[in-house]
Amino acid sequence: MVDTEGAIGRLFGLLPEIDAIAVTIREQGSDHIIMAGTVHRSAPIPDTNLSLGMQLRQRGLKYYSDGLRFEPLSSIEEPYYP
């Protein structure tokens, strides 16, 4: 989650012309998508008093976790990027 949040911040910082970033995180060594969504530059900055996971959810990312590991998103929930 730290890497994902950091990458989003760096991308928006380096690419000021970008208004939204489609994010897809895959499980290492697998094609399973474990986190996905679209983050908009114009979205309000999440409350830093919340956990990092909740901040990512507020930014538009979806994921499932049992508390110890990520669970793959079902194929029905995989984002569609035209």
Q: How confident is residue 67, by pLDDT bands cut at 50, 70 and 90?
A: confident
What distance in Å separates the CA atoms of residue 70 and residue 4, rounded to the nearest whole number? 14
What distance in Å separates the CA atoms of residue 35 and residue 24, rounded to the nearest whole number? 6
CA torsion through residues 63, 42, 10, 48, sign: negative
- Which residue, chain included where needed, has tokens 């919340």? 50
What distance in Å separates the CA atoms of residue 52 and residue 12, rounded to the nearest whole number? 18
Q: How confident is residue 76, by pLDDT bands cut at 50, 70 and 90?
A: very low
Task: Flag whether the pTM goes above 0.85.
Answer: no
Task: Examine the pLDDT at 75 and tell me if it is beyond 60.
Answer: no
> What is the 3 state secondary structure string of 7-23?
HHHHHHHHCCCCCEEEE
